[in-house]
Amino acid sequence: MSKKYLIALVVAVMLGLVLVIWSKLKPVSTIDFSTDIKPILNKNCITCHGGVKKSGGFSLLFESEALADTESGGPAIIPGNASKSSFIQLLKEEDPELRMPYQKPKLSEEEIALLTKWVDEGAKWGKHWAYSLPEKVAVPKTNQRAGISSSTSDGFIQNDIDRFTFKTLENNDLTPSLPAEPNIIARRLALDLIGLPADNTLFEDFSTGKISYENMVDELLSRDSYGEKWASWWLDQARYADTKGYEKDMGRSMWEYRDWVIKALNKDMPYDQFTIEQLAGDLLPEPSVDQLIATAFHRNTMNNDEGGTDDEEFRVAAVIDRVNTTFEVFQSTTIGCVQCHSHTYDPFKHEEFYNLMAFFNNTRDEDTTEDEPNLKFYNEEQKAKVAKIHEWILKNENKEVADAYKNFLTYSEPVYHGHLAKNYTNGNLADTKWIALRNNGSCYMNDVYTQGADYIYLKLYSGIDATKVTIRKDNSEGEILAQFNTNKTQGRVVQKFPFKKTKEKLNLYIEAENNKISPTTPTSYISWIAFLPEIKANKNKEFYQIDETFMQLVNSHTPTLPIMVENLDHQKRTTQFFEKGSWLMKTDTVYPSTPQVLNDWKPEWPKNRLGFSQWLVSKENPLTARTLVNRIWHQLFGRGIVASLEDMGSQSDAPSHPELLDWLALRFMNEHQWSIKALVKEIVMSGTYRQRSVNSAALYNKDPENKLYARGPRTRLSAEQIRDQALAVSGLLSKKMYGPSVMPPQPEGIWQTVYNGGQWNESKGEDKYRRALYTYLKRTSPYPSLVTFDANSREVSTVRRTVTNTPLQALVTLNDPVYLEAAFNLAKHMAKAGNVDKSITTGYYKAVLREIEKEKLIALKQLYKSAFLEFEQQPETIREFIPFDAEATPNIAALTIVANAIMNLDEFLTKS
């Protein structure tokens, strides 16, 4: 073999080896569908080829649709072959009538190249990051030393959160800020944890080293005011209000739910339990009163009392709201558009909305005037009677019968409401609420199951005596099932009458006869009818005593709360698909199921709200823990790790620290066992949270929104915090907790009520000074000073308030009677210091926990002098300015002006 041939052979072998090795070691494509491709499709293609429209039979929403045949007869995307894929070729067209996107600017060369490469590599789809959750996240290693340092950033790392943020800062050539001064961090921490400034004792103990920072955190977390602060955040999402909404906006009693939230947060109820009890507490085994109260979360939906409205329309509206709210609150998912079409950007199909709706469509509420079902709150004596009745029936019958009577005493269900009656003759549904039959009037109520009852119960009102009521089977010639007389009543009462026993479903024909009344006068107004299982025990003296007590309790007037109660089997509804989202265009029957893109359904879960809530808090659900962690982070830092709190879909903001978000979510579920307090503590113990909030031009230019957390949080306080802080520093704030909502002072003429003549009756005594959380919230006319600072009307769930900065806010804090009285009270405290300088210094320190700068002291002293001179020369203006104290002096009035100015300073209204 010649030398040349041998060399050529060796070279060929080596080249072959190189090619083989290269094929094994060549870099894998860096194209990621979620981060590289999906944003291009969402921005340029999806509006015509997605969930709303499928122009040309082509959709890019789901992989199966994208690779399917189009109206042209073949697929637009051929994986592995971009040159033959019309999807790519139409992007390159020069003719604007042929080029895609149609009648829009041509995609950039980089975007076309990226899409071409993606198709050539197989057009691999991908799952959006939020729809899967890793099993474990590694904590980054850093060179930073853990510890505490007040003069350098060396001690920045206090726990593992800081290792994530520090790594990001390093990657962006940034360093952490110094730790905040003790007075600043104490105020920040107290406002974040309890919504109030730190009290003197706690601050002194911390600033003098008597207690550590962690001791202060633990103390604040243990206070009842913690639950009050965080309840305000949750009630926004729960759309809690004291009225029903819509035009009439009548009052309703919901405060027991608000109090339940405060108590649940204070006792640190695990978040999975917190979720389950609110969505399905009534479906838990032997639910407690507290678990029933929790279900009012979804009775905060609006209720329309206006005459002439269709109760079914607004019942359906409430169910739709529950689906939307559940996914916004617990899943950071905007599911509302899926009512009408598949999601425009995310993989949620049109029919999946109605599968979800089927979970919520079987509750007893029907948009009735009295908000049924209502949980009744008995006094101790009445509770003992309820227990006695249950015990007696249990002894003489069985548990099923005993529970039926107990449930009826607890929340008066099941019933058949008057609006179910049809085909009236000489009668009508009065005010769309009550069966109103005139003399010889009749109506039908179909598909009624009596449970084999031997009595019928009616809730009615009548202003006349001797009306003969006959109930027949099927029609006017049918078998008589009941016949009885009704007489004049004292208001609405529940009465019982004998009824022929039957186990079948019936169509009832109801007729009324009273020849002594005018032809236009209704014989009565019937709210509902009900049936309870027969008690077959001997009808002896003991039975009649039990029966009498039962009727007394049924008719007792107690405080109530609207709650969720599931339909019994004989009242279950069929859920149907709504064509184009219209409740009037019902088509195919659908059944409960969850979206395919999220975690799987386990066979042991019941197909109802309880099973759904278990699916929601399953550790396999990729969104629940992430959502809660992100929103807690937002409460503490003023922005979420994902800034779009309400949306983690493909149109959401990308997470600033994705690994940190996942690590916190996994830790929240596993190590913290769903403890919100443990999560809050871990975040506020971090060096990231404890940094100074001071900005600089260089830092601002690089990170204007503080996404990287090179400094501490600096945000305007919430509406509730601003008011509560003013009352707290002035010494007026009441510590009273719980109970009905209160009506503190507000300007005249604000409350314009319709129909009901409701009045804003200003609360007296300490109720005037309770925390803003307890302020009565009328949806059509919320408390004005809170609305000015971005609180909302809570007609729908609010995940994130829109933060504004307007002149109206200054007008509120300068002129609102609450803030003026707070300033006056602070001024009286300031006056005790002696001279003007000390008075101003004392007031400033009490308000913001820091010493006053010389320039501010001079400015405030000048304000005092000019105000004092005016009040001294015109003493009659004191009474106009301070109408609540006839003894106010020019000195006190001038100090009130100063105190009012202090309460309008940026450092007072801001958490920094």
Give me the mean pLDDT over the 432-451 stretch. 95
Q: How far is CA 355 from the centre of its chain?
A: 22
- The whole-chain average pLDDT of the chain stands at 92
Give me the mean pLDDT over the 44-54 stretch. 82
589, containing H or E segment = strand 586-590
Q: Are strands 434-449 and 505-513 parallel, antiparallel or unpaired?
A: antiparallel
- The predicted pLDDT at position 104 comes to 86
Give the count of beta carbons closer than 10 Å to the beta carbon of residue 766.
13
The three-class DSSP label of residue 317 is helix
**Under 8 Å between Cβ of 353 and 338:** yes
- Which residue is associated with the tokens 């009498």? 548
Give the count of beta carbons closer than 10 Å to the beta carbon of residue 192.
22
Instruction: Report the C-alpha gap between 60 and 689 in whole angstroms.
Output: 42
- The predicted pLDDT at position 142 comes to 84
Instruction: Report the C-alpha gap between 843 and 830 in whole angstroms.
Output: 5
Which residues lie below 8 Å from residue 389, measured CB to CB, with a gap of 6+?
405, 406, 409, 546, 549, 550, 553
Instruction: Report the C-alpha gap between 146 and 162 in whole angstroms.
Output: 9
Instruction: Report the C-alpha gap between 356 and 348 in whole angstroms.
Output: 11
Which residues lie below 8 Å from residue 397, measured CB to CB, with a gap of 6+?
535, 536, 537
- Which residue is associated with the tokens 């649709």? 65
Widest CA span in the chain:
132
Report the share of the chain in percent with pLDDT over 90. 78
User: Which two three-digit tokens encode residue 462?
Assistant: 């009548």
Q: Domain spanning 393-558: which CATH class is it, in words?
A: mainly beta
Give the count of beta carbons closer than 10 Å to the beta carbon of residue 906.
10
- The predicted pLDDT at position 749 comes to 81
512 residue type, one letter: A
Straight-line distance from the first to the last Cα atom of the chain, in angstroms, rounded to the nearest whole number: 85
Please determine, for residue 161, whether its predicted confidence score (pLDDT) is greater than 50. Answer: yes
Angle value at C-alpha 280, between 278 and 286, nearest 5 degrees:
110
Calculate the alpha carbon distances from 559 to 375, 376, 689, 737 in Å: 8, 6, 44, 18
The three-class DSSP label of residue 270 is coil
Query: Which has more confidence, 285 or 651?
Result: 285
Instruction: Report the C-alpha gap between 597 and 595 in whole angstroms.
Output: 6
**Under 8 Å between Cβ of 347 and 597:** yes
Per residue in 711-737, is it b (16+ CB within 10 Å) or e — as a string? bbbbbbbbbbbbbbbbbbbbebbeeeb
- The predicted pLDDT at position 15 comes to 59
The three-class DSSP label of residue 833 is coil
Give me the mean pLDDT over the 366-383 stretch. 96
Please determine, for residue 204, whether its predicted confidence score (pLDDT) is greater than 90. Answer: yes
**Under 8 Å between Cβ of 826 and 817:** no
Instruction: Report the C-alpha gap between 846 and 501 in whole angstroms.
Output: 74
Please determine, for residue 486, whether its predicted confidence score (pLDDT) is greater than 50. Answer: yes
Alpha helices in 640-761 (DSSP H): 658-669, 676-684, 687-690, 697-702, 719-730
Q: Per residue in 662-694, pLDDT tens?
A: 999 999 999 999 999 999 999 999 999 999 999
**Under 8 Å between Cβ of 34 and 126:** yes
CA nearest to 237, candidates 778, 802, 797: 797
Q: Per residue in 391-421, pLDDT tens?
A: 999 999 999 999 999 999 999 999 999 999 9
Number of H helices, E strands in the chain: 33, 15
CA dihedral 33, 39, 41, 42 (to 10 degrees): 130
Least confident residue range of 61-70, 216-225, 472-481 = 61-70
- The predicted pLDDT at position 650 comes to 87
Domain boundaries, the chain: 34-123, 138-222+622-713, 270-364+576-616, 393-558, 815-911
Instruction: Report the C-alpha gap between 378 and 390 in whole angstroms.
Output: 15
List the beta bridge partners of residue 449. Answer: 505
Please determine, for residue 538, whether its predicted confidence score (pLDDT) is greater than 80. Answer: no
**Under 8 Å between Cβ of 227 and 192:** no
- The predicted pLDDT at position 569 comes to 93
Of the pLDDT bands very low, low, confident and very high (cuts 50, 70, 90), residue 73 is confident
Please determine, for residue 16, whether its predicted confidence score (pLDDT) is greater than 60. Answer: no
Q: Per residue in 309-320, pLDDT tens?
A: 899 999 999 999
DSSP state of 597: T
Give me the mean pLDDT over the 371-390 stretch. 97
Please determine, for residue 780, whether its predicted confidence score (pLDDT) is greater than 50. Answer: yes
- What crossing angle do the helices spanning 224-237 and 255-266 adopt, rounded to 10°? 130
**Under 8 Å between Cβ of 685 and 217:** yes
Which residues lie below 8 Å from residue 172, measured CB to CB, with a gap of 6+?
702, 703, 708
Of the pLDDT bands very low, low, confident and very high (cuts 50, 70, 90), residue 754 is low
- The predicted pLDDT at position 132 comes to 92
**Under 8 Å between Cβ of 396 and 402:** no
Which residues lie below 8 Å from residue 848, measured CB to CB, with a gap of 6+?
187, 902, 905, 907, 908
Which residues lie below 8 Å from residue 694, measured CB to CB, with a gap of 6+?
177, 711
Phi, psi of 530 (to 5 degrees): -150, 160
Instruction: Report the C-alpha gap between 912 and 163 in whole angstroms.
Output: 23
- The predicted pLDDT at position 22 comes to 45
- The predicted pLDDT at position 344 comes to 87
Instruction: Report the C-alpha gap between 592 and 566 in whole angstroms.
Output: 15
Calculate the alpha carbon distances from 309 to 248, 313, 315, 367, 777 in Å: 12, 8, 11, 10, 24
Please determine, for residue 257, whether its predicted confidence score (pLDDT) is greater than 80. Answer: yes
Q: Per residue in 579-599, pLDDT tens?
A: 989 999 999 999 999 999 999
Burial tier of 361 (Cβ tally within 10 Å: 0-12, 13-18, 19+): buried
Phi, psi of 444 (to 5 degrees): -120, 145
- The predicted pLDDT at position 298 comes to 97
Q: Are strands 575-578 and 434-449 parallel, antiparallel or unpaired?
A: unpaired
CA nearest to 564, candidates 244, 881, 833, 298: 298
CA nearest to 679, candidates 228, 268, 329: 268
- The predicted pLDDT at position 144 comes to 67
* DSSP code string of 764-787: -GGGGGS-GGGB---TTS--HHHH
- The predicted pLDDT at position 27 comes to 47
Instruction: Report the C-alpha gap between 863 and 845 in whole angstroms.
Output: 18
CA nearest to 125, candidates 187, 63, 39, 174: 63
- The predicted pLDDT at position 24 comes to 47
- The predicted pLDDT at position 26 comes to 47
Instruction: Report the C-alpha gap between 623 and 329 in whole angstroms.
Output: 11
Of the pLDDT bands very low, low, confident and very high (cuts 50, 70, 90), residue 455 is very high
Give me the mean pLDDT over the 39-64 stretch. 84
